[in-house]
């Protein structure tokens, strides 16, 4: 069969495979680009990035794991706060319970090492889907290779053992679904309904799916997806909760990850490149009359500029679409036509491979590799100080920052109640205001401290409140390079 290498339509790939010349049984051992990038991401995450520890640099992983284990033990969702002495017993909505169960199950099997592997595999799956989306939309092989580095350099800013990683996987799958949803209408709508039901029980980003479907002018698919999201333990209360949380400006203004990214930070040049490439792709999409791609890129760019949490989503979901339109623009440059043709040939060769046998072997290798014990970084969390905390009486009311709170929930399996942790949607904006005033030792902090009757304080050694408490007569019972434990004077 002869293939016209200058015809982009001849190079179009299927989401799962590609019917091209040269595919044979040996292709299962010849990895394609998507699998190569997934394997690179897996080993980069765990070994170069030190995912065994850095995946746990956000302490929210602690309460997600313990909540998941509780659900596995009781076969029921926790409906009231089990972790704090400040709001204990207050109604609480665990709106990411599906992800919690996965984390809890991985922890039951292999401890924090198992959790690290679970999320590293999910991150690798994102890279695999990223390439698949690029090719499904009609992207270029060499351009995909070039954009892989800025994509990984942007996404790794939020490589964390938290549910949003599963949200990335689901959003990529949704975009692939919209790009290739050419099956029978009933099957498409049925898949959309199931998709909505699954996503709503895993991560709150499900609200993006109908908006993206609207960009693709697939209103019925988006509507059926939205209908499926009602199948969750909280019903429509989940939607109301997510809406209230994401529209609470007073609260989100005090949550660091919802602030705009600092483009003066180290390594920000890769993130800036991601934003610029996405924007260029959006402009070209308009010129190429792909308004659906342009709208998706515009939506994700707006989210990413408003919130740092949106930058990984931009890299994962907008760059593949930008690839399509950048490659079309490059194909019109006369002296680049040979490179475009060469890239097309590489794409054909890539389509004849899969190498899927390497995927389970790589995961098995990671599981068997004698890596350092996984855990929360001791230079960021009171790992050493936790022994001193364990010696305190059960009635002790320990003042600690939200970052320490999540770790303490994990360390003591919820038995040691905390003042505050990362569930900002649960504690609310007024609590957050008081918390920040207290931790920064601003005027009025003594009244807030007296309100909660703290008996001890576990604080970072660079906390402004540490000196303020010491000046007020609190005694230091323990101190190391990371944290100090103080006791209130009698």
Averaged pLDDT, groups of 10, the chain, 490 residues long: 39 37 60 96 96 97 98 96 95 97 97 97 98 96 97 97 98 96 87 97 97 96 98 97 95 92 93 98 97 98 96 98 96 87 93 89 89 91 97 96 97 97 96 96 96 97 96 96 95
**What's the half-sphere exposure (Cβ side, CA atoms, 13 Å) at 356?**
6
pLDDT, position 87? 94
Q: What DSSP designation does 182 have?
A: -
pTM: 0.93
| Residue 325, token pair as written in the block | 């339109």
Instruction: Answer whether 92's CB lies under 8 Å from 79's CB.
Output: yes
Classify residue 280 by burial, with Cβ atoms within 10 Å: 0-12, 13-18, 19+: middle
DSSP strand pairing (475-479 vs 456-460) = unpaired
Kindly give the interhelix angle for 268-287 and 141-155, rounded to the nearest 10 degrees. Answer: 130
- DSSP H helical ranges for 9-93: 33-43, 51-54, 60-74
The DSSP symbol for 45 reads I
Q: Any idea what DSSP says for residue 50? A: -
Assigned token pair, 86: 């400040």
Which has the closest alpha carbon to 148: 225, 226, 50, 44? 44
Q: What is the pLDDT of residue 222?
A: 97
Strand partners, 194: none
- Give the C-alpha separation, 106 to 69, whole Å: 10
Which letter does DSSP use for residue 333 in this model? S
Smallest Cα–Cα separation from 314: which of 255, 362, 360, 261? 261
For residue 20, what pLDDT is reported?
Answer: 40
Quick one: pLDDT at residue 97?
98
154: closest CA among 39, 265, 56, 60? 265
Asked if residues 238 and 207 have their Cβ atoms less than 8 Å apart, the reply is no
State residue 391's pLDDT score.
Answer: 96
CA atoms of 299 and 291, how far apart (whole Å): 12
Q: What's the rounded Cα separation, in Å, for the pair 347 and 323?
A: 14
* pLDDT value for 27: 80
Q: Are 176 and 129 in contact (CB under 8 A)?
A: yes
Structural contact between residues 206 and 197, judged by C-beta atoms closer than 8 angstroms: no
Predicted pLDDT of residue 25: 43
For tokens 């001193």, name the residue: 388
Closest listed residue to residue 240, CA positions, set 251, 228, 229: 229
The Cα–Cα gap between 202 and 183 comes to 26
């Amino acid at each position: 069969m002869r293939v016209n290498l200058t015809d982009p339509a001849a190079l179009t790939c299927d989401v799962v495979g590609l019917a091209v010349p040269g595919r044979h049984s040996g292709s299962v051992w010849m990895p394609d680009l998507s699998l190569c990038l997934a394997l690179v991401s897996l080993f980069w995450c765990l070994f170069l990035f030190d995912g065994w520890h850095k995946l746990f640099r956000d302490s929210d992983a602690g309460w997600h794991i313990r909540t998941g284990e509780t659900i596995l033990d009781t076969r029921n969702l926790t409906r009231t706060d089990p972790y704090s002495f400040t709001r204990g017993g207050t109604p609480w909505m665990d709106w990411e319970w599906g992800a919690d169960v996965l984390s809890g199950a991985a922890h039951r099997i292999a401890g924090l090492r198992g959790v690290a592997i679970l999320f590293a595999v999910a991150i690798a799956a994102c890279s695999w889907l990223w390439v698949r989306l690029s090719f499904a939309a009609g992207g270029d092989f060499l351009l995909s290779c070039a954009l892989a580095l800025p994509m990984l350099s942007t996404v790794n800013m939020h490589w964390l053992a938290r549910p949003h990683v599963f949200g990335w996987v689901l959003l990529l799958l949704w975009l692939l679904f919209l790009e290739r949803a050419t099956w029978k209408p009933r099957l498409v709508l049925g898949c959309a309904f199931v998709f909505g039901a699954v996503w709503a029980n895993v991560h709150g980003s499900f609200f993006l799916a109908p908006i993206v479907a609207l960009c693709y002018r697939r209103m019925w698919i988006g509507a059926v997806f939205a209908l499926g999201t009602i199948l969750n333990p909280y019903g429509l209360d989940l939607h109301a909760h997510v809406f209230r949380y994401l529209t609470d400006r007073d609260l989100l203004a005090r949550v660091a990850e919802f602030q705009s990214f600092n483009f003066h930070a180290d390594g920000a040049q890769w993130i800036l490149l991601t934003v610029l490439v996405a924007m260029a792709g959006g402009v070209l999409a308009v010129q190429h009359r792909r308004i659906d791609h342009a709208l998706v890129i515009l939506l994700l760019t707006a989210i990413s500029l408003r919130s740092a949490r949106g930058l990984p989503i931009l890299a994962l979901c907008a760059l593949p679409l930008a690839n399509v339109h950048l490659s079309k623009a490059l194909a019109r440059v006369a002296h680049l036509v040979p490179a475009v043709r060469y890239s097309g040939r590489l794409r054909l060769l890539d389509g004849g491979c899969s190498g899927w046998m390497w995927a389970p072997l790589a995961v098995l290798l990671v599981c068997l590799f004698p890596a350092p014990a996984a855990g929360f970084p001791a230079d960021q969390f009171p790992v050493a100080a936790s022994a001193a905390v364990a010696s305190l009486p059960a009635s002790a009311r320990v003042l600690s920052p939200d970052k320490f709170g999540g770790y303490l929930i994990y360390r003591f399996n919820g038995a040691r109640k905390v003042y505050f942790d990362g569930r900002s949607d649960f504690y609310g904006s007024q609590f957050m205001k008081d918390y920040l005033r207290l931790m920064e030792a601003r005027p009025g902090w003594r009244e807030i401290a007296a309100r909660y009757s703290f008996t001890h304080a576990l604080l970072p050694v660079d906390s402004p409140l540490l000196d303020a408490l010491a000046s007020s007569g609190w005694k230091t019972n323990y101190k190391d390079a990371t944290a100090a434990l103080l006791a209130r004077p009698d």
